[in-house]
């Protein structure tokens, strides 16, 4: 995984993340991913939300994840959004149904993208992209 120390990271960084959602990003930095889980009905909330879409409770706990999922859908990007992503082309974007029953979307790492299939099991790995930000990606089991 690449670590960029000199601030030269030119891809999109997360912007406008409210303080209430920072525990997610801090959990990535700690390589210990955590997602909100509703205190009332135990539904996971991702992306972070102020209320539970199932029971509308506003209370939640940042719960650890197995990090395991299966591919729900994916695409392979062959036309990059900006110049910073061009050298990565072609690259995959995966939406996975996590073992805990909700979906997460991310890029992939150390994975042959020509072998991607819906239903394929994946697990989360971490990528420290700047001193402040870490992303998660999916890789094969």
Site residues for another protein per CB under 8 A: 11-17, 46-47, 72-82, 85, 88, 91, 93, 95, 103-107, 118, 135, 137
Pair of tokens at residue 85: 């992503």
In the complex, what is the shortest distance from the CB of residue 11 to another protein, in angstroms, rounded to a whole number?
7
Assess whether the previous peptide bond of 90 is cis (omega < 30° from 0). yes
Report in angstroms how near the CB of residue 5 gets to another protein at its nearest.
19
If 0-12 CB within 10 Å is exposed, 13-18 middle and 19+ buried, where does residue 115 land?
exposed
- Residue from 117, 130, 5 nearest 138 by CA: 117
Minimum CB separation of residue 126 from another protein in Å reads 13
State which residue, 30 or 84, has the beta carbon closest to another protein: 84
Comparing CB distances to another protein, the nearer of 8 and 82 is 82
């Amino acid at each position: 995984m690449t670590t960029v120390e000199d601030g030269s990271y030119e891809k999109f960084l997360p912007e406008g993340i409210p303080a209430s959602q920072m525990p997610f990003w801090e959990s990535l930095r700690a390589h210990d991913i955590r997602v909100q889980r509703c205190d009332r009905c135990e539904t996971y909330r991702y992306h972070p939300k102020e209320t539970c879409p199932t029971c509308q409770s506003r209370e939640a706990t940042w719960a650890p994840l197995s990090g395991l999922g299966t591919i729900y859908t994916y695409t392979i990007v062959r036309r990059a959004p900006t110049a910073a992503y061009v050298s990565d082309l072609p690259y995959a974007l995966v939406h996975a149904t996590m073992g805990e029953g909700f979906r997460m979307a991310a890029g992939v790492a150390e994975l042959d993208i020509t072998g991607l299939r819906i239903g394929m099991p994946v697990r989360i790995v971490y990528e420290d992209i700047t001193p402040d930000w870490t992303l998660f990606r999916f890789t094969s089991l």
